[in-house]
Amino acid sequence: MQQSVVPELAHTHTRPIHWVATATAVAGVVALSSILQPHPATAAQSSGAEGKAATASPPATTGVDFPLDCGPVQAVVQKKATGDLDGDGRPETVAAVHCDAGMGTPPDGLYVLTQAVDAPRPRVVATLVDPKGRFTVSSLAVTDGAVLATLLGYSSTDVPSCCPDVTDSAKWQWKNGAFIRSTPAGAHSV
């Protein structure tokens, strides 16, 4: 029988000095990595004006002078929806507004509001539905940069204001500096 003559290897038995050396090496790597940092990513960052626009809040409807003659009663915002309608990164507000009549079904006006960064309050920039048309906005949404609304109206002046007998779906999109109205697929009158 022959015995192997292999010297005992120093690294096969851990000693406190090995743990100290390992801890020192790890601390050195951590310290070095905190000094050597990559440059910050800039591809997804935007400039100051665009960054402010993307985080802007939609215009409020309070304090807005709607082009609606209500005489002695107040104008009431019945429905509203928000979204970026013109693609500038800043949201607009679309508001269905009517006079606060004591009875009957007052017609709605449908207005688009915007507010410049330095403006004290929002302003009306477009009228999508004029109250003179005698429509009531029964649903309102902003989807993919388009205003979608369901309008209740009247087939003739003989139909009482309480009981609209026509339903119309409408869609408006900002194109070439104006809101263009179209009727969504599947829309119909009743």
pLDDT level of residue 49 (50, 70, 90 thresholds)? very low
Nearest of 89, 23, 95 to residue 57 by alpha carbon? 89
Nearest of 113, 86, 119, 116 to residue 97 by alpha carbon? 113
Full-prediction pTM beyond 0.75? no
Q: What is the pLDDT of residues 106-127, one digit of tens each?
A: 889 999 999 988 888 899 999 9
Task: Give the pLDDT score at 17.
Answer: 72
Q: Both tokens of residue 98?
A: 């009517």
Range with lowest mean pLDDT among 11-25, 133-147, 164-178: 11-25
